[in-house]
Chains A and B, each alone.
Chain A
């Protein structure tokens, strides 16, 4: 038993996120939590279990699997789902390719990042989901800084940034037409540091690739990319071994790692606080294509 204590930033962020999760679960008929095995979705899933404990989650988790994964992350995903004893749906990009819904990109710069959108929208339609929880944060990227907590998507999964529903106070308009859905972002106001500080506070386990390890890598566009069977290298892109870790976890073809010796959450926090490069700048090759790369992908139905 405790008495009234001083509130910290994490207490307020946690209370806000739980409020959003409960609100969506109560108002939407078929929500789903998008779970990639990345740190943000782990924090999100943890908050969701806290929001309904001791009862279980009133919605399943869903992983949009590009087939280009880090094996450590898939291993973690399966361990975690078993640990919290919840249901996982896997929407597979490889299946979308096999059934001809999308065409795989080829060549050294091939990525399945774009293809995920079709797989995601197909899965939303198939399961008739009307809300997808996502772990996106406003500090990640400029277009995301402008996105609402309950972000409306039309029948085509499109985001219309010029026509967003105002969200004064913490009142969310959750009304939908058939076929439309929301992307719901309970971590909107969290920063990368908050995520790590919360992982530390709650003692959450993460996939091992978030911590320093030796890996065979090659250099592309000034970033360190992991060598993998499904990544075709350009002439001169020779591999070598480095001590690295990943700051984000995504499709292995477009997620870069950084040199690091941080092997614990505490060390990662120290490193992140001192870092001079943003998370996406350090690890996302897909945002470098144009000034509005993220906005364009989101308009089309991306996460």
Chain B
């Protein structure tokens, strides 16, 4: 039985100067999430920079370098309520050199707010962002055709861009597009409509965020074990498996298996942070008790005996390269997936994805912000599923054991076996 998610994870993306920060400022301001002192701060900062208007962009520019250079460098997170629904909004920088930040912000997002300049139209970066959304499994995009005031609120221009956006998303097998004409500066169609766009009868940005169906899907039960708890109960040593259910539902009486080991047992009790339940589902953190003691340790994945994921040591995957030092194969790295860290070798770099030309090409190396297809060899068998089937079992990060830096984001496309 699917459950409606109480939280929506959104990400705002766009090219430089599309007015993204202004839109976010507006959203917070018009939903009452900006306090008087924060507005006073923006007023003061606007004055210091010689702006003649309240520059809401300054609100999310949180770091000194960002304010000095007037650009966004790092992902900022803000929470607000869209008519009773909690939205966690990641603001991703639009500069090409920070595409890695877009990957960071959009990984796990339910919906992307994409800005397009009504006058300039779609850019190569718009297409790039749509392709990244498609790859990360972001299902919905609110395409904001901004600065509609600069094209005289023209319906024809909006329709033209909306069609282009839908076509661009279809070209990459991308997300569903809801296009909205708006002016972030004038505050049109963010939370309120305007007579200037009398021809538009669709929803505002806030309405889409509020209405978007986002069910916690009814996938197979998976729980990576984070911690095996032990305590003494009347002389008996009681063990429980603590972890967060990443997908699906588990019930008392279910036959579960610990992978990759393969030993199975019956769930005898489910402890949801002090509350005994007979059923629990994602995304809750729980402790599972088993009827028989089996060998389970941190990093194992609990799954139903009847619906087991694959265990493999070799996978094909899309990688977003995040580090300044380029990747070339073979490379010795480490893979971090939920509660596991294992050594890995990037055996082969098959191709680089040229998102601007929308084609694959041969490449000897991936530079920072590049996307490519690789084959990964894992030092130990791991539970893996294609990212499109199960996000948590199909996503990993690459860590450089020399620098300890997070150098890549990985989405498994194919499980090749052991």
Contacts and interface: CB of A to CB of B under 8 A. Distances in A.
Interface of A: 1-4, 6-9, 11-12, 14-16, 18-19, 22-23, 25-26, 50-55, 138-139, 141-146, 161-162, 164-173, 175-177, 188-189, 191, 275-278, 281-282, 291-292, 295-296
Interface in B219-262: 226-227, 229-231, 233, 242-244, 249
Interface string B68-84: 00000111111100000
A61 B6 CA distance: 32
Given A15-B285, A138-B78, A170 B339 contact: no
Contacts of B88: 189
Given A7-B3, A138-B78, A146-B62, 12 more contacts: A1-B277, A4-B3, A9-B7, A12-B7, A16-B285, A19-B226, A26-B227, A139-B79, A145-B62, A164-B74, A169-B391, A292-B64
Nearest to B88: A189
26 contacts: A1-B278, A2-B277, A4-B281, A6-B6, A9-B86, A12-B7, A12-B283, A15-B283, A15-B284, A18-B273, A22-B226, A144-B62, A145-B78, A146-B62, A165-B405, A173-B404, A175-B399, A175-B401, A177-B404, A189-B79, A275-B35, A276-B35, A278-B35, A278-B38, A281-B38, A291-B45
Contacts of A275: 35
B25 to A, nearest CB: 12
A291 B42 CA distance: 10
B216 interface: yes
Interface in B258-276: 273-276
A168 B74 contact: no
B322 interface: yes
B275 A166 contact: no
Nearest to A290: B64
A146 B76 contact: yes
B101 A145 contact: no
- Looking at B35, B280, B285, which has the most chain A CB atoms within 10 Å of its CB? B285
Closest 8 CB pairs of A and B: A281-B37, A168-B107, A142-B62, A18-B285, A175-B404, A166-B104, A278-B35, A15-B285
B339 A15 contact: no
Contact of A171 (B6, B74, B338): B338
Given A166-B103, A189-B88, A6 B4 contact: yes
Given A26-B339, A50-B274, A161-B74, A166 B409 contact: yes
B73 A162 contact: yes
Contacts of B357: none
B306 interface: no
Given A9-B86, A15-B244, A146-B74, A161 B63 contact: yes
A143 B341 CA distance: 30
Interface in B42-64: 45, 59-64
Contacts of B395: 168-169, 171
**A23, A175, A189 — which one has the most chain B CB atoms within 10 A of its CB?**
A175
Contacts of B337: 171
B2 to A, nearest CB: 10
Nearest to A10: B6
B244 A173 contact: no
Interface in B265-308: 273-281, 283-285, 298
